[in-house]
């Protein structure tokens, strides 16, 4: 197969084996063959007979990895958003049958093709923003058939051309379905039947649960998390978005891949996450739209917890499709450094999804990269509000 490549003023590898916080190579080149990178380094060391497209002063980074999205949905929650701006509380709206249940009603009446089509469009727009891998959760179907329909829609969209690679997560406990008679019986059904079925049918790699006051308890999430582990799936949990109900402790105890949100988390839980190697997925768009607190980033950093930044793309708390917007808020509102934010959307995000073949530009990795119409990587975290990419490659194919 033919080798091809690029040369640019700055090749930001995010490879920890290189020097500097982002392993940046000045006057660098990347060469790939098919879906795989075969050379990353100084342009003068690039294989001599490979044609290099000249990118001039542009920056090349690994393709961005969005490690937390709820991008498979239909409908609109604009009325709820306006009501919240006028003072309504997210959890009160949810108790009144809005919020997650409002999107549940739209998803329950949608066909698998409707869902796959809206997700495909969203994924394509994400690609133009530099994203080459996106995690996508179910969680609006709530009932077995609709959850599986959502997961099938995710698989259909993932198989289409021009989209980022997709990692599917079964968001097993998000809200109690309106028709569920008995809460305990619902949790048992999800843990004993649905999780093993999803694993058997290979519909997801991870299982997630929303652990918070007004959502699910740690005992309920533990049942589902243990079922996931028994079925060979990984665990990631929504914890401490509104209240610390010790969801982060549970994430650490289960050896979860990530604990997400973490606005409310105790010092002891932070230590537990660090010991367990559980990544912290920070979702600044959600706390921005909710007018909520920032997570204790300094304490997480001090403890050595790996920091990931994700969009949380969803129709309610994070009505965005933009990981770069999340990066802009992560630096401005959460106090991450630009380098931390960029690592959190590349190598750290890939690690949190259990993916070792991407997130950094190095020989042998997937040819996933973004070329930015920007003179420096730190400009990526500025709040542009539109795509600043020149080119986006996923597995060596142009998707952006």
Shortest separation between residue 377's beta carbon and ligand NIG, angstroms: 28
Q: List all residues 6 or more positions away from 168 whose beta carbon is below 8 Å from its beta carbon.
A: 135, 136, 137, 138, 151, 154, 155, 158, 203, 204, 205, 206
Which partner from the list Fe ion, ligand NIG, none does 316 bind, CB cut-off 5 to 8 Å by kind? ligand NIG
Q: Establish if 170 lies at the interface with ligand NIG (CB under 6 A).
A: no
Give the tokens for residue 143. Answer: 């009932």
The encoded tokens of residue 229 equal 């582990």
The answer to whether residue 324 forms part of the interface with ligand NIG (CB under 6 A) is: no
d(CA 226, CA 277): 18
Scanning the structure block, which residue is given the tokens 């997925």?
281
CB of 222 to ligand NIG, least distance (A): 18
What does the block give as tokens for 45?
């060391």
The residue range among 14-22, 95-103, 176-184, 345-353 that interacts with ligand NIG, by the rule CB under 6 A, is 95-103
Is 210 a residue that touches ligand NIG (CB under 6 A)? Answer: yes
Task: Give yes or no for residue 312 binding Fe ion (CB under 5 A).
Answer: yes
Alpha helices in 17-143 (DSSP H): 78-85, 90-95, 100-109, 112-128
Using alpha carbons only, how large is the chain's radius of gyration in Å? 20
User: Of the listed pieces 49-57, 105-113, 263-271, 312-320, which binds ligand NIG according to CB under 6 A?
Assistant: 312-320
Q: Which is nearer to ligand NIG, 30 or 175 (CB)?
A: 175
CB of 99 to Fe ion, least distance (A): 12
- The token pair at 186 is 């619902």
Task: Tell how strand 234-239 and strand 279-282 pair up.
Answer: unpaired
Which range binds ligand NIG by CB under 6 A, 46-54, 186-194, 315-323, 350-358? Answer: 315-323
The yes or no reply on residue 66 touching Fe ion (CB under 5 A) is no
Partner whose footprint covers residue 317, from Fe ion, ligand NIG, none (CB < 5 to 8 Å by kind): ligand NIG
* Tokens encoding 272: 């537990």
From residue 267 to residue 296, the character string flagging contacts with ligand NIG as x (rule: CB under 6 A) and all else as - is -------------------x----------
Q: Does 237 bind ligand NIG (CB under 6 A)?
A: no
Residue 100 in the binding site for ligand NIG (CB under 6 A): yes
d(Cα 373, Cα 55) in Å, to the nearest integer?
Answer: 9
Write the CB contacts of 31 (distance below 8 Å, at least 6 apart in sequence): 3, 4, 5, 37, 38, 39, 40, 46, 47, 50, 52
315 binds, among ligand NIG, Fe ion, none (CB under 5 to 8 A by kind): ligand NIG
Q: What are the backbone angles phi and psi of residue 179, rounded to the nearest 5°?
A: -85, -5
Nearest residue to ligand NIG, scored by beta-carbon proximity: 316
Spatial separation of the C-alpha atoms in residues 126 and 66, rounded to whole Å = 9
* Closest listed residue to residue 124, CA positions, set 366, 388, 325, 399: 399
Q: Which is nearer to ligand NIG, 209 or 365 (CB)?
A: 209
Q: Which stretch binds ligand NIG (CB under 6 A): 3-11, 34-42, 81-89, 314-322?
A: 314-322
Is 247 one of the binding residues for ligand NIG (CB under 6 A)?
Answer: no
SS3 66: strand
Q: How many residues bind Fe ion (CB under 5 A)?
A: 1
Q: Is 141 in the site for ligand NIG (CB under 6 A)?
A: no
Residues 55-74 that bind ligand NIG (CB under 6 A): 70
Give the residue with the Cβ less far from ligand NIG, 59 or 173.
173
Q: Which residues contact 87 (CB under 8 A, 6 or more apart)?
A: none
Task: Please check whether residue 128 is in contact with residue 64, taking contact to mean a CB–CB distance below 8 angstroms.
Answer: no
User: Is there binding between residue 315 and ligand NIG (CB under 6 A)?
Assistant: yes
Q: Which residues bind ligand NIG (CB under 6 A)?
A: 70, 99-100, 103, 210, 238, 241, 286, 312, 314-318
Q: Which residues bind Fe ion (CB under 5 A)?
A: 312
């Amino acid at each position: 197969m033919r080798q091809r490549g690029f040369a640019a003023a700055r090749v930001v590898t995010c490879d920890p084996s290189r020097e500097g916080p982002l392993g940046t190579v000045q006057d660098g080149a990347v060469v790939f063959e098919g879906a795989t990178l075969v050379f990353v380094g100084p342009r003068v060391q690039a294989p001599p007979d490979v044609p290099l497209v000249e990118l001039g002063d542009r920056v090349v980074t690994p393709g961005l990895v969005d490690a937390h999205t709820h991008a498979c949905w239909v409908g609109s929650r604009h009325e709820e958003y306006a009501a919240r701006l006028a003072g309504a509380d997210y959890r009160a709206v949810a108790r009144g049958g809005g919020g997650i249940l409002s999107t549940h009603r739209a998803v329950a009446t949608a066909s698998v093709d409707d869902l796959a089509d809206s997700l495909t469009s969203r994924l394509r727009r994400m690609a133009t923003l530099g994203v080459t891998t996106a995690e996508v959760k179910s969680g609006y179907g709530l009932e077995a058939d609709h959850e599986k329909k959502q997961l099938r829609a995710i698989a259909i969209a993932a198989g289409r051309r021009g989209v980022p690679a997709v990692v599917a997560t079964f968001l097993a406990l998000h809200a109690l379905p309106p028709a569920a008679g008995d809460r305990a019986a619902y949790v048992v059904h999800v843990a004993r039947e649905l999780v093993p079925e999803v694993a058997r049918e290979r519909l997801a790699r991870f299982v997630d649960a929303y652990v918070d006051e007004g959502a699910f308890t740690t005992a309920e999430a533990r049942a589902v998390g243990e079922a996931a582990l028994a079925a060979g799936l990984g665990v990631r949990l929504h914890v401490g978005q509104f209240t610390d109900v010790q969801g982060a402790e549970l994430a650490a105890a289960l050896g979860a891949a990530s604990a997400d949100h973490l606005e409310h988390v105790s010092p002891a839980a932070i230590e537990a996450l660090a010991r367990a190697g559980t990544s912290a997925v920070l979702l600044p768009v959600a706390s921005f739209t909710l007018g909520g607190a920032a997570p204790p980033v300094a304490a997480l950093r001090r403890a050595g917890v790996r920091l990931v930044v994700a969009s949380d793309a969803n129709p309610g708390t994070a009505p965005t499709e933009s990981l770069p917007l999340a990066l802009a808020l992560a630096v401005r509102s959460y106090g991450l450094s630009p380098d931390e934010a960029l690592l959190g959307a590349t190598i750290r995000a890939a690690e949190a999804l259990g993916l070792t073949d991407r997130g950094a530009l190095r020989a042998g990795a997937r040819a996933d990269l973004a070329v930015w119409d920007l003179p420096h990587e730190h400009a990526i975290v500025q709040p542009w509000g539109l795509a600043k990419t020149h080119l986006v490659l996923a597995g060596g194919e142009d998707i952006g």
